[in-house]
């Protein structure tokens, strides 16, 4: 099915009316992501591939809210009026928008860091009445350990996140606790949209030794600007997204293989299409070490005059050196 992005309220209402007047497609799955960036794009592809493999007769309505909450709400209303068989929300804000408006149709979330705090499910062990999905609670402490190892003498840590994203607020608490435990000064800057991200970094650059970015969708949609500015300010950046680290020159990343997160989400959709209830499907969280990927950019390390230990290079799944990306 053709992608359709609707921005204007009047246009949306008109199209929604046409959909609601027509016959509902009994084999239609709505998939909405919060914004386009490498991690969420990989999730989306994994979901699509899994559904195409197991349920090729289903049509897909693919939507992108472009990091705009009002658009996310419009997309949720669109799926409701289309009477989709299953609605899939990629990232916390999108999943919340779907769950808030759709009560009688299964909603499956994907790449939601803390679905309990986000109000999507009562616990990780049990789905909700019409909601379940996959979590990507990122290994924050392991990522911060990596930044400290690479820097060598980290005393002031910068952290930028969107204060309106529940997942990012949850991660910020973990980062702050880590800093307190390790006598590191915690310096944060919050944003409300991607256009504020570069300025947020500039506002704290002189007060930090390194920058950590959790899996914040708003910030990652501006990651190119962050990486460029960080290099100018001689700041190492470690992130939670290995997908974007393959093409954007941050120093390093440890995180989930987001394509696999997508296929896991697709499997849950298929289980629901086969008759299982969301309440009987616990939230899926990757737990195997093989689910995590480390990306190291030795070219960025060289520009920052940092030495990367040989044992880290050996552990990395992807190493970038002399402009060449090597997978192990």
pLDDT score for 18:
34
d(CA 89, CA 96): 8
Angle of helix 38-54 versus helix 258-273 axis, rounded to 10: 40
d(CA 181, CA 62): 43
Instruction: Write the CB contacts of 102 (distance below 8 Å, at least 6 apart in sequence).
Output: 76, 79, 80, 87, 130
Task: Report which of 235, 271, 272 is spatially closest to residue 251, judged by C-alpha positions.
Answer: 235
Residue 30 lies in a domain: yes
Residue 144: is its pLDDT beyond 50? Answer: yes
pLDDT score for 21:
38
**Which helix (DSSP H) or strand (DSSP E) does residue 61 occupy?**
strand 59-64
Co-location of 163 and 246 in the same domain = yes
Residue 1 lies in a domain: no
Co-location of 163 and 267 in the same domain = no
pLDDT score for 231:
97
Co-location of 244 and 190 in the same domain = yes
pLDDT score for 9:
35
Whether 109 contacts 124, CB under 8 Å: no
| Each residue's pLDDT tens digit, 65-114 | 998 999 999 999 999 999 999 999 999 999 999 999 999 999 999 999 89
Could you identify the residue written with the tokens 């307190």?
Answer: 180
| Each residue's pLDDT tens digit, 189-241 | 999 999 999 999 999 999 999 999 998 889 998 999 999 999 999 999 999 99
Co-location of 43 and 126 in the same domain = yes
Higher-pLDDT residue of 22 and 140 is 140
pLDDT score for 24:
54
Co-location of 194 and 266 in the same domain = no
Give Dmax (Cα) for the chain: 64
Q: Residue 244 — φ and ψ, nearest 5°?
A: -70, -30
DSSP 126-150: B--SSEEEEE----HHHHHHHHHHH
Domain count, the chain: 2
d(CA 237, CA 232): 12
Co-location of 42 and 178 in the same domain = no
Whether 35 contacts 64, CB under 8 Å: yes
Number of DSSP helices (H) and strands (E) in the chain, helices first: 13, 13
Instruction: Write the CB contacts of 17 (distance below 8 Å, at least 6 apart in sequence).
Output: none
Co-location of 108 and 228 in the same domain = no
Residue 99 lies in a domain: yes
Q: Which two tokens stand for residue 221?
A: 């949609």
Residue 2 lies in a domain: no
CATH number for the domain spanning 27: value is: 3.40.50.2300
Range of the domain at 232: 140-256+289-327
Co-location of 250 and 145 in the same domain = yes
- Which residue blocks in 239-297 are alpha helix, DSSP H? 242-245, 258-273
Co-location of 82 and 123 in the same domain = yes
| Each residue's pLDDT tens digit, 106-135 | 999 999 989 998 999 999 999 999 999 999
Sheet holding 107-112, edge to edge: 59-64, 28-33, 86-90, 107-112, 131-135
d(CA 101, CA 221): 26
Co-location of 20 and 147 in the same domain = no
Could you identify the residue written with the tokens 């000064």?
Answer: 185
Co-location of 37 and 150 in the same domain = no
pLDDT score for 83:
96
Residue 37 lies in a domain: yes
d(CA 48, CA 8): 27
Residue 48 lies in a domain: yes
Residue 266: is its pLDDT beyond 60? Answer: yes
Residue 3 lies in a domain: no
Co-location of 145 and 232 in the same domain = yes
d(CA 177, CA 126): 28
pLDDT score for 26:
75
| Each residue's pLDDT tens digit, 9-28 | 333 333 333 333 344 557 99
pLDDT score for 128:
95
pLDDT score for 161:
97
Residue 191 lies in a domain: yes
């Amino acid at each position: 099915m053709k992608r359709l992005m609707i921005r204007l309220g009047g246009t949306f209402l008109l199209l929604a009316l046409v959909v609601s007047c027509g016959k509902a497609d009994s084999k239609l799955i709505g998939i909405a992501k919060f914004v386009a960036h490498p991690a969420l794009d990989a999730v989306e592809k994994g979901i699509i591939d899994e559904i195409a493999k197991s349920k090729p007769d289903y049509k897909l309505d693919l939507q992108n809210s472009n990091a705009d909450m009002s658009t996310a709400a419009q997309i949720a209303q669109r799926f409701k009026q289309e009477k989709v068989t299953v609605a899939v929300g990629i990232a916390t804000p999108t999943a919340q928008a779907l769950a808030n408006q759709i009560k009688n149709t299964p909603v499956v979330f994907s790449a939601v860091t803390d679905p309990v705090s986000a109000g999507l499910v009562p616990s990780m062990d049990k789905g909700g009445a019409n909601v379940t999905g996959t979590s990507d609670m990122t290994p924050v402490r392991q990522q911060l350990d990596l930044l400290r190892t690479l820097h060598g003498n980290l005393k002031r840590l910068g952290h930028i996140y969107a204060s309106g994203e529940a997942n990012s607020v949850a991660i910020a608490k973990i980062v702050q606790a880590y800093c307190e435990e390790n006598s590191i000064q915690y310096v944060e800057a919050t944003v409300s949209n991607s256009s504020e991200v570069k300025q947020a970094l500039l506002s704290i650059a002189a007060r930090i030794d390194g920058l950590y970015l959790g899996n914040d969708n708003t910030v990652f949609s501006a990651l190119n600007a962050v990486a460029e500015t960080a290099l100018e300010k001689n700041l190492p950046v470690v992130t939670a997204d290995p997908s974007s680290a393959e093409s954007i020159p941050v120093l390093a990343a440890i995180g989930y293989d987001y394509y696999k997160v997508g296929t896991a989400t697709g499997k849950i959709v298929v289980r629901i299409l086969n008759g299982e209830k969301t309440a009987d499907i616990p939230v899926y969280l990757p737990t195997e070490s093989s689910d995590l990927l480390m990306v190291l950019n030795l070219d960025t390390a060289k520009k920052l005059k940092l030495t990367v230990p040989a044992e880290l290079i050996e552990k990395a799944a992807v190493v970038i050196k002399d402009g060449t990306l090597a997978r192990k």
